[in-house]
Amino acid sequence: MAISSHGSIKRFGIGRIVEHQANALVFAILVITGLSQRFHEYKVSHWIILSLGGVDTMRFVHRVSGFLFTALIAVHIAMGVYGVVRKRWPASMMINVNDFRNAMENMRYYFGITNHPALCDRYDYKQKFEYWGVIAGGFLMITTGLILWFPVQFAQFLPGEFIPAAKAAHSNEALLAFLVIITWHIYDAIFSPEVFPLDTAIFTGRISRERMVHEHPLELARMENVPVEEIVKHHHGPAGAKTDAGE
């Protein structure tokens, strides 16, 4: 990562940016083609299905998108494992006990008990929980999607009850993922006061130093080779100090 003369810090390379846009595009196609089949009785679903050339074409697009999603997940995991094992990348997305402490510390900050948010590293607890939710949900969608794609083959070595169970899990997880994205992720990326009207980090790969101080002070302290207390004190005042509301 590098700091420019304008005070912005590079957090993501071109590979991560392209990966994010590809995942976003594939996810959008999967949601549109999948939920249109689940809620096929609605007029908007009829319009989407007819616009794509009928239900058979929609299913084909959905399955191709599912294959691409599987490939993106596989490449992402393979690159992550290779980076951590061979290149000694820090496992910065792994959830640890500090993430739960940071969540509690941020609650104290939101209620005005402390004068600074939790001291997070490269990724905060919200980003980690959302990330692992996507990974876990992705594996569920891939597994159940394959069962629904090849029900006869899977029924040869799985009980028949697995087919309707896979259909229910696939459909409900898709709806849950869609709701999480439009409520949690879209809020954090667009409507959150810290980034409104849009968080451009995943498009430009850069973030302001001010946001680094507020959201990722541990990473910034490591980059600038200074104690994190200095960064927090300069921006928020002495670490741990109470506000008037907390005194």
Residue 90 DSSP class: -
In contact, 241 and 109? CB cutoff 8 Å: no
Distances (CA, A) of 156 to 73, 162, 170: 27, 11, 20
What's the pLDDT tens digit per position in 186-206? 888 898 888 888 899 999 999
Cis? peptide before 197, omega within 30° of 0: yes
**Residue 53: inside a domain, yes or no?**
yes
**Residue 118: inside a domain, yes or no?**
no
- Place 246 in a pLDDT band, splitting at 50, 70 and 90: very low
Query: Quick one: tokens of 16?
Result: 């991560």
What's the pLDDT tens digit per position in 22-81? 999 999 999 999 999 999 999 999 999 999 999 999 999 999 999 999 999 999 999 999
**Residue 113: inside a domain, yes or no?**
no
Distances (CA, A) of 23 to 30, 75, 98, 213: 10, 12, 29, 29
**Residue 25: inside a domain, yes or no?**
yes
Query: Quick one: tokens of 246?
Result: 């907390």
**Residue 19: inside a domain, yes or no?**
yes
What's the pLDDT tens digit per position in 166-183? 999 999 999 999 998 888
- The CATH number assigned to the domain holding 20 equals 1.20.950.20
**Residue 220: inside a domain, yes or no?**
no
Query: Where in the sequence is the domain holding 201, given as residue range(s)?
Result: 8-89+125-215
**Residue 238: inside a domain, yes or no?**
no
Our count of domains for the chain comes to 1
Confidence at residue 235, expressed as pLDDT on a 0 to 100 scale: 66
Residue 78 phi/psi, 5-degree rounding, is -60, -45
Cβ neighbours for 217, distance < 8 A, ≥ 6 positions apart: 119, 120, 228, 231, 232
**Residue 194: inside a domain, yes or no?**
yes
Confidence at residue 27, expressed as pLDDT on a 0 to 100 scale: 95
Q: What share of the chain is helix, strand, coil (3-state, %, to 5)?
A: 70, 5, 30
**CA neighbor of 68 nearest in space, from 21, 15, 35, 36:** 21
What's the pLDDT tens digit per position in 204-213? 999 999 899 9
